[in-house]
Amino acid sequence: MISEQLAAALAAIGLTPAQRRHIDHLPAPPTAPFLRRVVEVQRDRLTLHDGEHESPARVLPALHLGAAAHDGLAVGDWVHVARDAHGQWWVHARVPPLNQLARRQHDGREKSTRAVIVSNVDTALLVMGLDHDFNLRRLERYLALARIAGVQPVVVLTKADLCDPAYAERRLHETCALMPPGVDVVALDATGDEPSAALAPWTGPGQTLVLLGSSGAGKSTLTNALTGDAQQRVGASRADDSRGRHTTTARSLHRMPGGACIIDTPGLRTLRLDADAQDLAGVFDEIAQGALRCRFRDCRHQGEPGCAVQDSVAPERLRNFHKMQRELQRDTLSALERKAQRQVWKVRHKAARARDRGKREGEG
């Protein structure tokens, strides 16, 4: 059980009441009594936070072996840790995440694997510039990513200061028209002092936000505006990077003065969803609705006579849907992987409970 005192300390690093209840219902590994949040992930090292201090940590090999590569630790995860005789912190177990934003990553050939972007977030800020970055088809993809993970999306259109007000207004309208009910769209200048007030509804104490969007969209600029310092390198310093890599190279969690946590991510060059056909139908709901009125039950909305979807859905949106659908079909393994993953968690919970029992009996 998490004590009141510990809960208060961990709230500073994003422990929500729901997360606390979730953790309280799970057996804590007796060998690792401390709870921490992952705020940075390097290759085989992590940075953890206890609400007050950061500490470097490593992951027990047993956890590496247990966790399949497609379900690796990510920024935002909660972990159980212990310190060895040399003062080194080790992660013994991971709390099964309440949600995960994940995508498919391709190896260049036909194989793809699941890659976790972040765990346990309350809001996903989908960041897009009103400049040449503006692309509603890409936004549809990011929107699907958040909704499939069960994370509340908010669209943030940056660089409003760089364009003509009438143009910005038109883009804002187009974007709003695309959003399902309940998804807000905000247009702002990320470099000014607008972001804190404009994003206040989603940055309450204990809330965790992730920033998603392409390189140069303004994610680091927003992070700086919200955290009130320049701890995140921004694009202007790109000249430092002779290899021409993206400016933000790792995900990391930052704390806002008001008590929210914000996770900046590197711009993704491609975003392939980790989902199945049903997930996709769920987020393009008007297509699923329209399909009920198509003449053929198995209508694919690709030129069949009597197709109700082609009559009612914007052609570019329907094309985008078909494109994502084709990608998912190529990635059909994903469903099997997810099933396997759930199985792994089940087995691990069982093992943890058995270890717990064994330990108690050993002590008694």
Ligand X SMILES: Nc1nc2c(ncn2[C@@H]2O[C@H](COP(=O)(O)OP(=O)(O)OP(=O)(O)O)[C@@H](O)[C@H]2O)c(=O)[nH]1
Site residues (vs Zn ion, CB under 5 A): 294, 299, 301, 307, 309
Window 156 to 175, contacts with ligand X (CB under 6 A): 158-159, 161-162
Does position 99 bind ligand X by CB under 6 A? no
Does position 250 bind ligand X by CB under 6 A? no
User: Do residues 104 and 268 lie in contact, with contact meaning Cβ atoms separated by under 8 Å?
Assistant: no
Four-residue CA torsion sign, 8, 12, 14, 16: positive
Q: What binding mask, one character per residue, do residues 112-151 give for ligand X by CB under 6 A, x or -?
A: ----------------------------------------
What does residue 190 show for φ and ψ, rounded to 5 degrees? -70, -20
User: Do residues 91 and 46 lie in contact, with contact meaning Cβ atoms separated by under 8 Å?
Assistant: yes
Residue 255 pairs in a beta bridge with: 261
Q: What binding mask, one character per residue, do residues 229-248 give for ligand X by CB under 6 A, x or -?
A: -----xxx---------xxx
Residue 18 binds which entry of Zn ion, ligand X, none, CB below 5-8 Å type-dependent? none
Answer for which of 16, 215, 289, 325 binds ligand X (CB under 6 A) is: 215
Give the C-alpha separation, 279 to 276, whole Å: 5
Where does this chain touch ligand X (CB under 6 A) — which range of 141-149, 188-196, 269-277, 313-321? 188-196
Which helix (H) or strand (E) segment holds residue 197: the answer is helix 194-198
Four-residue CA torsion sign, 117, 123, 125, 126: positive
Does position 14 bind ligand X by CB under 6 A? no
- Looking up tokens 């990553």 gives 105
Closest contact distance (angstroms) between CB of 226 and ligand X is 12
> Would the annotation count 301 as a binding residue?
yes
Does position 219 bind ligand X by CB under 6 A? yes
Which structure tokens are listed for 192?
Answer: 């000014």
Q: Does residue 80 come out as left (phi exceeding 0), alpha (psi in the -120 to 50 range) or beta? A: beta
Task: Indicate the residue among 128 and 143 with the shorter CB distance to ligand X.
Answer: 128
Which residues bind to ligand X, rule: CB under 6 A?
158-159, 161-162, 189-191, 213, 215-221, 234-236, 246-248, 266-267
